[in-house]
Structure 1
Amino acid sequence: MKKQTLLGTAILSLMLMLSGCQSAYYSAMEKVGVHKRDILIDRVEETKDSQQESQEEFQSALERLTTLINFDGGELQDAYNQLNDDYESSLAAANEVSSNINKVEDVADALFDEWSDELEQYKSASLKRQSSKKLAATQRQFSQLLSSMRSAESKMEPVLSSLQDNVLYLKHNLNAQAVAAIKGEFTNLKRDIQLLMNDMNKSIEDSNKFIEQMNTTG
């Protein structure tokens, strides 16, 4: 068997195993009265919190880089170490955001599949119609929320790449000339971070609206 085929089989097996773990988790939670919609609300909250944490880390990295660029005496190594720490913290926060978004999408898919299947169990055409309308409305609002989350997520990558480039450059060229050299990149990084902040704020706002809607119509 070719290596590519073996790798593909292994990946598929892992996906199925993870999917099975999630299904088992949802079933176990339902047995203790925690349903998929409750898990979805909790995960949207967790994602919102991780986005706010990520905003703080990126802002801290920007402020650290600003201080470094305007460096006026002192120990460059200390300033570099602090910037590197901020980059590592930003990277960890960004990974947490992505992980949480994936968890949100997973439970939402499970919820909507279950909701759709249960429509067929109705005997009352009126109740079925009302539930179907509520499902469609919830799916539309969730689609908007997920789009906001993914948009903000996509803007983390260029910021992280730029921060990493600056950290790597300074690591091997830790002197005043190196600091001056990265000033040209600073304007673009500052712009990218502002765009990220704007998208994060939009996503957080949409999260609050979605949570409110789910709690109101639950």
Structure 2
Amino acid sequence: MRALWSMLALVTLLGCESTYYNAMEKVGVHKRDILVDRVDEAKGAQLETQQQFKDALSEFRAVVSIEGGDLEARYKRLKNEYDDSETAARNLSERIEKVESVAEALFDEWEDELKLYSNSRLRADSESKLKATQRQYRGLLSAMQRSEKSVEPVLAALRDNVLYLKHNLNASAIGALKGELNTIDRDVQKLISAMESSIKESDEFIRQLK
């Protein structure tokens, strides 16, 4: 039953997207323009995610490095950073999905319209440009998906540590969390690197498409 509902939701989403593209086309905004905008929005989401996880790392470092103080308050600050990180990760995934949606629609339309050419030279040139754009897009999507996956281990580690601190608000809990700092630090650095690579791919893709 869950699979059925997921399929229905996907069909509904695709139908809504198709209606949106058609409406935008009527006012002179084409799928190529929407793709550029969505890639730029995904790039912005990556920058926000990158900064949010830096902030979460800073808060985690503060929690495990400060002796004494109000453990409840420190837990709440870390929990807030985790919640913000979860929101940023969800927003990033949604932005990437929107990029995929319009890219697929654009390429399907482009391929269909190749059949309408009567001039073989122009058709061949357009087909060559389509294939080049698809190749570059695949590189972009791969970079985006790597950046998205880099979020998962950091989010999981933060969740584990927030839960542990919630149920163990004492000095020994802080000592236990200290051992997690290096792992989280390493994973955040991997996340930042993956985001930077994807952001560069986004800039280049936008430049080529405009």
Normalising by structure 1, report the TM-score.
0.94
Give yes or no for the alignment of 1:94 onto 2:89.
Answer: yes
Q: Which residue of 2 aligns with 1:135?
A: 130
Structure 2 unaligned residues grouped into runs of 5+? none
Q: Which residue of 2 aligns with 1:46?
A: 41
1:74 CA displacement: 2.2
2:151 maps to a residue whose letter is M
Alignment of 1:85 with 2:77, yes or no, is no
Aligned to 2:170: 175
Does residue 129 of structure 2 align to residue 113 of structure 1? no
Give the conservation status (yes or no) of the 8 Å contact 2:56–2:85: yes
Match of 1:57 among 44, 52, 56: 52
Q: Which runs of 4+ in 1 moved over 4 A?
A: none
Query: Structure 1 88/7 Cα, relative in aligned 2: closer, same or farther at 3 Å?
Result: closer
Question: What corresponds to 1:76 in structure 2?
Answer: 71
Match of 2:155 among 134, 154, 160: 160
TM, length-normalised to structure 2: 0.97
Distance 1:9 1:77, change over 3 A: closer
Higher relative CO (Cα under 8 Å, sequence separation at least 6) belongs to 2
Give 1:39's aligned amino acid: I
- Give 1:7 deviation, angstroms: 4.1
Q: Is the 8 A contact 2:24 2:30 kept in 1?
A: yes
Q: 1:28 to 1:79 in 2, by over 3 A?
A: same
Task: Give the aligned CA root-mean-square deviation in angstroms.
Answer: 1.0
